[in-house]
Chains A and B, each alone.
Chain A
Amino acid sequence: MGPPSEPPAALVRCTRAHGQYHPGVPANATPLDSLIYARGLTKRFGSFTAVDGVDFDVAPGEAFGFLGPNGAGKTSTMRMIGTVSPVSAGTLTVFGLEPAHDGARIRSRLGVVPQADTLDRDLSVLENLLIYGRYFDLSWGEARRRAVELLEFVQLTERSNDQVEPLSGGMKRRLVIARALINEPSLLLLDEPTTGLDPQARHLVWDRLYRLKQRGVTLCLTTHYMDEAEQLCDRLVVMDKARIVAEGSPRQLIERYVTREVLELRFRRDEGETDDSAHLVGQLEGLAERFEQLPDRTLVYTSDGEATAAAAFERGLRPTGVLVRRGSLEDVFLRLTGRSLVE
């Protein structure tokens, strides 16, 4: 990893000059005006490459997301940003500082919500926050003041003196979020903040994160839920197999890679009937610009779902299920990788 004085701007120009496409890189980003600045960021574990030369920037105040399936390299990237995993190659600065040299300074301004809860099971809810405040060099009084306030914020005040273990998954996640805020971080890293939570618990977490965003806290999160990415992220990168395959706002990505609407058609497949997807696509040919055949349904990408459905009926197709919906990030991912996000 090069020293921070190395001109990364030149690095960008140089890669641009080779005509490579670098998703995730706004034209004029520098390590100083980005909270997170990554160029050619790579993480290797032995011969396995978990993150393969990714470029991205996170600007102050934005909610930035890494969207991708499990194993895409999201967590490894987050751990490098959190300075708990050494960078194998490339450039990474957080707050303009280098993880290898200024880890403690970076961490003092970061809030981290890891995928696993890592709560202290030997301590009560309140004590978890207090001691975490102490790890950040807060006085006991200040730690207590903030802890009480944060428990209020994540709606756990009534559970202050309870042990951690009996809390539900959603409560534990909220407690971890409160814990991550004890040092009043300007950047909050969230690794799959709602994985494993029921819908109600997810919405509560989203609501709290949305409020933080309103307060100007920069969010950087990973998720394999497209709805989460759409709800929370101003801008995101799609990751697949250790690389970034696309970058943009949810709306931009959908506009760029999929149509406004998607028509989902389901056909009855009788017992013993052979796969006739080729035949089916043949029948649909010309109705829309693109199709995607999934095991249980056919996706038709079109600007007007209703009209396309009507046209299909005119051709004599008799699907058992018809659904018209808006194009989503799920479709973007399918388009870019040929696979679903959640398998």
Chain B
Amino acid sequence: MAALRISPPLVLIRPTRMVERNLLVYRRSFMVIFSGFFEPLFYLFSMGFGVGALVGSVQLGDGTSVSYAVFVAPALLASSAMNGAIYETSNNFFGKLKYAKIYDAVIATPMSLADVARGEILWALLRGSLYVLGFLAVIGVLGIGGLGLISSPMGLLAFPAAMVVGYGFAGAGMAATTFVRKWQDFDFLQLAIMPMFLFSGTFYPISAYPAALQVVVECTPLYRGVHLIRALTTGTPDVWIAIDVLYLLAMGTIGLAIVSKRLSKLLLA
């Protein structure tokens, strides 16, 4: 055996074992993965083109006017990244933690709980990236990104931006899941997700709200994600996108720290 082979540090390698485990599982049922691909597309066709035909164009914050489909597509991309991350880190993670007891076996190996948490977040992001790429490919083909998604180099940043959105929600979602006791508790999670999806400037500009309510909406994570991706795909970035990125990265990282702590309480008694 060549002892001199240079390999990356274990702290980076070990989380990928959880991804390998999940790939083994989905190898046999990869079609399940595709289900999440269609939801944002259905929304795009019904809202973007259906409702869009009635609405005409929408004015962005800086005064530029864009077609409704161009307005709504980045918001659907952000929502899709959120939903993918939440789905994987809520029901799926809960099932593995409480019922399949996957991690009870993992903790008897050199893997740490931080490896487990990072690995599952990484998996959620990889899965989400499939949806994001698929969605980007479709709107690219449809030419909806005429204002910048395809032509402006900034539009390419929509992909990493969607990953940042996914990271934020995956960390927070997984942290929330560690407090869940039974499946029904996830209804409360939906109670947070659904209004965010509908009211975060997704389908119309938040200038429709009174000033006080606008501030509230601006503080929600999905609004930050929508703002970030819309700024990139429409080529209208402002200084706030730095806040968007920091907000979402912090949310994911704090979530991850909570997950490691909670898992040791739950599994290492």
Closest CB-CB distance, B112 to chain A, in whole Å? 6
In the complex, chain B residues whose CB is within 8 Å of the CB of A108: 109-110
Docked Cα-Cα span, A184 to B111, in Å, equals 17
Docked Cα-Cα span, A340 to B193, in Å, equals 56
Is B102 close to A, CB under 8 A? yes
Is A112 close to B, CB under 8 A? yes
State which of B10, B17, B100, B109 has its C-beta within 8 Å of the C-beta of A107: B109
In the complex, chain A residues whose CB is within 8 Å of the CB of B219: none
Is B105 close to A, CB under 8 A? yes
B10-49 Cβ-contact flags toward A at 8 Å (1 or 0): 1001100100110011000000000000000000000000
In the complex, chain B residues whose CB is within 8 Å of the CB of A306: none
Docked Cα-Cα span, A135 to B106, in Å, equals 7
In the complex, chain A residues whose CB is within 8 Å of the CB of B14: 137
Is A132 close to B, CB under 8 A? yes
Interface residues of A in 317-343 (CB under 8 A from B): none
B98-135 Cβ-contact flags toward A at 8 Å (1 or 0): 00111011111111100000000000000000000000
A131 touches B21 (CB 8 A): yes
A84 touches B112 (CB 8 A): no
* B112 and chain A: residue at smallest CB distance: A104
In the complex, chain B residues whose CB is within 8 Å of the CB of A130: 24
Docked Cα-Cα span, A103 to B61, in Å, equals 54
Closest CB-CB distance, A153 to chain B, in whole Å? 20
Closest CB-CB distance, B123 to chain A, in whole Å? 13
In the complex, chain A residues whose CB is within 8 Å of the CB of B213: none
Is A170 close to B, CB under 8 A? no
Is A134 close to B, CB under 8 A? yes
In the complex, chain B residues whose CB is within 8 Å of the CB of A292: none
A84 touches B100 (CB 8 A): no
Closest CB-CB distance, B111 to chain A, in whole Å? 5
Query: With contacts A132-B109, A136-B110 known, is A116 near B101, CB below 8 A?
Result: yes
Looking at B10, B13, B106, B109, which has the most chain A CB atoms within 10 Å of its CB?
B109
Closest CB-CB distance, B150 to chain A, in whole Å? 39
21 contacts between A and B (CB under 8 A): A82-B108, A84-B108, A84-B268, A85-B268, A85-B269, A104-B110, A104-B112, A107-B108, A107-B110, A110-B108, A114-B105, A120-B100, A122-B102, A123-B21, A127-B24, A132-B105, A134-B21, A135-B106, A135-B110, A136-B110, A179-B105
Which A residues are closer than 8 A to B by beta carbons?
45, 82, 84-86, 103-105, 107-108, 110, 112, 114, 116, 118-123, 127, 130-132, 134-137, 179, 183
Q: A85-B269, A103-B112 are in contact. List 18 more A-B contacts (CB 8 A).
A: A105-B110, A107-B108, A114-B104, A114-B105, A116-B104, A118-B104, A120-B100, A121-B100, A122-B25, A123-B25, A131-B20, A131-B21, A132-B109, A134-B21, A135-B17, A135-B109, A135-B110, A136-B109
What are the 8 closest A-B residue pairs judged by CB atoms, nearest first?
A: A135-B109, A118-B105, A112-B108, A104-B110, A122-B25, A108-B110, A118-B104, A131-B21
Which B residues are closer than 8 A to A by beta carbons?
10, 13-14, 17, 20-21, 24-25, 100-102, 104-112, 267-269
